[in-house]
Amino acid sequence: MTVKKKVVITGLGLATPLGLDVEDNWQKLLAGTSGISRIKLPDTAKSPVQAVGEIKESDWTKIQKEFPEEAGQQGEKRTLFALWAARSALGDAGMLSYTGNKDRCGVVFAAGIGINRPEDIQKWISRDGNFDLLRFGRELKTLHRESIARNNSHRAASLIAKKFELRGTNCTITTACASATQALGTGYRAIQRGDADMIVAGGADSMINPIGLVFFVLLKAASVSSENPESVCRPFDRKRSGLVMGEGAGVAILEEESHAKKRGARIIAEVAGYGSTMDAYQVTAPDPKGVGAGRSMLSALKDAGMGDSDIDYINAHGTSTRLNDTAETVAIKRVFKENAYNISVSSSKSMIGHLLAASGGPEFIYTALSVQRDKVHPTVNLTNPDPKCDLDYVPNKMRARTVRAAISNSFGFGGQNASIVVKKYNQDLQDMSEKK
């Protein structure tokens, strides 16, 4: 049998409502600072959705200045978020000046479906109410540069590869809210098999636009609360009212261990296991018994060679919706049994919102930092515990504890489930043992 190669994390990059710097994100998370604010889109005073996790205007300006050519030609937020996070992660890993074999360096990236612009459709509606396909074809170049017709899902992965000359594996994953975790898992598998030495993995998304927002309102998944925006997202709380849309990107550099060591890279943590399943239950609702989500975690644990007593922390999907939070709680208890009550569980979405296809990217990064630094960020706004959600969700205040290994969960519409295990790198474990 082929020996599976060890995969480590050597670089991290972020663009979230909390900022563009990984350390700044982390410190704000530990402090329980929310990046969620009142929506700033034009003409949204009467919008049912008032709370969103937007990238700050000053940060968006900074990203555009960093990539002036792409900002001028592409302009689409999701793609530029991806370029920023990828460049940050490659810089963090010391890979920007890498002169080795880039044929074995690739990109596995998650992206949402792009921006649907009503005005792009209306422009080509004829007087009889039909869509004028022929005129649309002739005038395609006049489409707004942010339109889905000019920015397909694979654009981000393609531009990252081109910008940084990564000529190996390249693919895009679009599987709703599980996308980024599946991208990370797919990148992990590529390195584990020996198909690549380094993979830029993660995701970027932005659906803070009229069509994106109304979609989740119609599904009755989005919060339409008029309360203080910072307090609207409250995962696992009895008074939770729905998800809060966010935007941004999260990218990790995954690398084969010997490759990382050879170039003297700093190793943050090890990716130890990955699992992915399908509920096959209902497109817009999770299985209330948590069967698919549970199998996803079990599969990741099996891949990592771990049992139910080896996990100290779970970065939950934790959407602040009534169905997800109870189903995920049931799934965790199904997998970890009595030990579930010894595991710290928290939701990053309580502070950055739901980044949809990109959500697993930042959450994987926060999970890796918890493993590296033995700190767990809180779930904020959890003031009215739901009896059906009875685990340790680290309410409102960060916690210092040993995190030997952790799981990051992403469960998406359509029943897509993905779980990825991060553990301390073996040298870190050796150092801990010697201290004892």
Distance CA 77, CA 115 (A): 10
Please give the distance of CA 144 from its chain centroid, rounded to a whole number.
27
Catalytic annotation, pick one of 177, 233, 259, 377: 177
Q: How far is CA 305 from each of CA 260, 268, 300, 310, rounded to the nearest angstrom?
A: 23, 20, 9, 10
For the question of residue 354 being annotated catalytic, the response is yes
In the prediction, which pLDDT does 409 show? 98
Does the pLDDT value for residue 30 go beyond 60?
Answer: yes
In the prediction, which pLDDT does 257 show? 98
Distance CA 188, CA 7 (A): 7
| Three-state SS annotation for 244-258 | CEEEEEEEEEEEEHH
User: In the chain, what percentage of residues exceed pLDDT 70?
Assistant: 96
Distance CA 310, CA 308 (A): 6
Better-scored residue on pLDDT, 286 or 304? 304
Does the pLDDT value for residue 432 go beyond 90?
Answer: no
pLDDT digits (tens, 9 = 90+) for 196-253: 999 999 999 998 988 888 888 988 899 999 999 999 999 999 999 999 999 999 999 9
Q: Which helix (H) or strand (E) holds 24?
A: helix 22-31
Q: Which helix (H) or strand (E) holds 92?
A: helix 77-92
Torsional class of 368: left (φ above 0), alpha (ψ -120 to 50), beta (otherwise): alpha
Inter-residue contact 54 to 17 (CB < 8 Å): yes
Catalytic annotation, pick one of 105, 233, 354, 377: 354
Distance CA 105, CA 115 (A): 30
Tell me if residue 211 falls in helix, strand or coil. Answer: helix
Helix count and strand count (H, E) for the chain: 15, 14
In the prediction, which pLDDT does 428 show? 55
In the prediction, which pLDDT does 434 show? 45
Tell me if residue 330 falls in helix, strand or coil. Answer: helix
Largest CA distance in the chain: 79
Compute the average pLDDT of residues 43-63.
94
**Which of 353, 332, 272 lies closest to 305, judged by CA?**
272
Catalytic annotation, pick one of 105, 233, 259, 317: 317
Inter-residue contact 391 to 247 (CB < 8 Å): no
**What pTM value is reported for the model?**
0.94
- Block residue for tokens 């609207």: 232
Sorted by where each begins, the domain ranges of the chain are 7-115+151-435
Better-scored residue on pLDDT, 330 or 136? 330
Which ranges of 337-376 would DSSP assign to H, the alpha helix? 349-352, 360-373
In the prediction, which pLDDT does 436 show? 47
Distance CA 350, CA 331 (A): 20
In the prediction, which pLDDT does 116 show? 67
Q: 7-115+151-435 has which fold?
A: Peroxisomal Thiolase; Chain A, domain 1 (3.40.47)
For the question of residue 317 being annotated catalytic, the response is yes
Distance CA 253, CA 90 (A): 7
Average pLDDT over all residues of the chain:
93
In the prediction, which pLDDT does 152 show? 78
